[in-house]
Amino acid sequence: MKRIIIYDTTLRDGMQGTGINYTLEDKIQIAHQLDELKIDYIEGGFPLANKKETEFFNRIKKENLKHARVVAFGSTCRPHHKAVEDINIRAILDTDTQTVMIVGKAWTEHVQKILDTSLEENLKMIYDSIDVCKRAGKEVFFDLEHFFDGYRDDPEYALSILRTGTEAGADTLVLCDTNGGTLPSEVNKIIKSLPQNKLKPLGVHFHDDSGTAVANSLAAIEAGAIHVQGTVNGWGERCGNANLCVLIPNICLKIKTLGASSCTSLKHITSLSRFVAEKANIIPDKRQPYVGEAAFSHKAGQHADVISKAPQLMEHIPSDLVGNERKLLLSELAGKSTIMKKLSKYGKFKKSSDLVQKLTEKLKALEAEGYEYEAAEASFDLIMRKMLNRYTPILELHNYHLESFKAGSSHAKTVGRIFLQSNSGKELMGAAVGTGPIETLDGCLRDALLPTHPFLSRVKLIDFAVRVLNPEKATAARVRVFITSSDSKISWDTVGVSENIIEASWQALIDSMDYYYNNYIIESDSEE
């Protein structure tokens, strides 16, 4: 079996994506999650970029990573400078990582127009930079920036760079499609044309500007590459990089002749995807292959019936192989088979039972009022629990009061208070100030409940969506509110409907807390 080396660049290239930023603590925690998946190499960043990058390398040395090696990234020395004296090379070596990544230009256009130097000088810079790092005892990966574009324009010069990297002692030559414009057929053709038996092992790094980064990576592996790079969720500069959350399962599950260290920890990949998304404060892509919430979701009643009898006919892999879970979506297209499948977690029920009939009628009645449970299964779970007498409310509301105010040109604020009784019988009051009424209401609830329900500190609202159901009613229209919540490991969705947006939000918000409380706190306590 051919073993593929997995190299993650989420903490460097991934952070170049629009709207993505991580604190130092975020980067340390993400590194541990990557290590748990048994990623072989974690690129930590460019140590000269800023103080945070430098501190990351100081901190990560003290962390007990069990599998992954941390890599320091940097460019070759500058034209007409000795690598041993170059500030970039010194910064990489000073990180004290076992492995370093040196990036050099592989396209004549960049050498002459960006570096403003000769093609021969570029080769000297590459050789000298790699040689100095090898003499310092480092494992050296050489990233040939713009390799595929360079090969199209001048294949002989691109080959000379590969030979130079090999002669200098690089451990892996990483062919980079920096512009992301290459297609799989061309990747396969170019890599197969290279004299691989005379070169150091090949790796690849693809950007996704043509939507083919994962396909390109697989084509490169089939053509001889043994090292692939990418990011969690495919994030990165412009359109991003090869998505490791898709690439790794494809390597582990789809090509029988391939293997990777991460294959033994594949069940961690869904939680990794969602953890990294939470740290970036980005809503996870529900339609992402393998790890997305919709990846194993089935809507039509006929599909649900097939799933109950022979799931392999509707799913290309079992969801638990990647740590995901199957979902049967509730909607007007769903039949009793779907409801029975939902009930199965609470016992066995016949399709003809009164409970199944009542739930079917309840679902249709609520959807007629504007509720939609296809994207709010947590709320439907509470309906089932109530019918089964397996529901414990987290609180009993007495009243809440919200007041918005604005003074002059300052931003509007909302002050709120809530009075309630916890399920232990204790009378509680909470208060908060927020930008808007929903944030304030959430703050009031947490202020009141956290002392007696500390688990709520793990629960975060990660998405809030509102849809007007009957716009012809203008400001008196009924609205539907969806809330997505997460504890960084799992996420769940709830719904509320009302002519009053705050009331609809309250329904979805309290359902979110009730769902987590009933399914993960009470159930956990009962198991213990």
DSSP collapsed to 3 states, 425-470? CCEEEEEEEECCHHHHHHHHHHHHHCCCCHHHHHCEEEEEEEEECC
Do residues 5 and 203 make contact, with C-beta atoms less than 8 angstroms apart?
yes
pLDDT band at 19 (very low <50, low <70, confident <90, very high): confident
pLDDT of the residue at 125:
97
pLDDT of the residue at 439:
92
176-215 core/surface letters (b: 16 or more CB in 10 A; e: else): bbbebebbbebbbebbeebebeebbbbbbbbbbbbebbbb
pLDDT of the residue at 522:
85
Please give the single-letter amino acid code of residue 47: P
- Nearest CA among 352, 438, 444, 341 for reference residue 397: 444
pLDDT of the residue at 200:
98
Please give the single-letter amino acid code of residue 94: D
Per-residue pLDDT tens digits for 24-35: 999 999 999 999
Neighbours of 41 (CB within 10 A): 25
Q: Is the pLDDT at 189 greater than 80, yes or no?
A: yes
Of residues 238 and 340, more confidence is placed in: 238
Specify the range with the lowest mean pLDDT, choosing from 153-167, 319-333, 379-393, 428-442: 319-333
Per-residue pLDDT tens digits for 70-106: 999 999 999 999 999 999 999 999 999 999 999 999 9
Do residues 496 and 504 make contact, with C-beta atoms less than 8 angstroms apart?
yes
pLDDT band at 305 (very low <50, low <70, confident <90, very high): low
Region 186-213 average pLDDT: 98
pLDDT of the residue at 415:
95
pTM of structure? 0.73
Region 502-513 average pLDDT: 95
- Assigned token pair, 74: 């940097």
Q: What is the mean pLDDT of the chain?
A: 91
Per-residue pLDDT tens digits for 37-53: 999 999 999 988 788 88
pLDDT band at 413 (very low <50, low <70, confident <90, very high): very high
Per-residue pLDDT tens digits for 202-218: 999 999 999 999 999 99
Specify the range with the lowest mean pLDDT, choosing from 64-68, 128-132, 336-340: 336-340
7: left (phi over 0), alpha (psi -120 to 50) or beta: beta
pLDDT of the residue at 140:
98
Do residues 422 and 410 make contact, with C-beta atoms less than 8 angstroms apart?
no
pLDDT of the residue at 251:
98
pLDDT band at 165 (very low <50, low <70, confident <90, very high): very high
pLDDT band at 194 (very low <50, low <70, confident <90, very high): very high
Per-residue pLDDT tens digits for 255-304: 999 999 999 999 999 999 988 988 887 878 989 999 998 898 876 555 66
Angle made by CA atoms 315, 320, 321, in degrees to the nearest 5? 85
pLDDT of the residue at 528:
47
pLDDT of the residue at 332:
47
pLDDT of the residue at 488:
82
Whole-angstrom Cα distance, residue 45 to residue 40? 16
Region 389-418 average pLDDT: 92
* Domains of the chain: residue spans and CATH: 2-279 (3.20.20.70), 297-366 (no CATH), 395-527 (3.30.160.270)
Per-residue pLDDT tens digits for 218-269: 999 999 999 999 999 999 999 999 999 999 999 999 999 999 999 999 999 9
**Hey, which of 24-33, 184-193, 337-346, 470-479 has the most confident mean pLDDT?**
184-193
Region 151-166 average pLDDT: 97
Q: pLDDT above 90 covers what percent of the chain?
A: 70
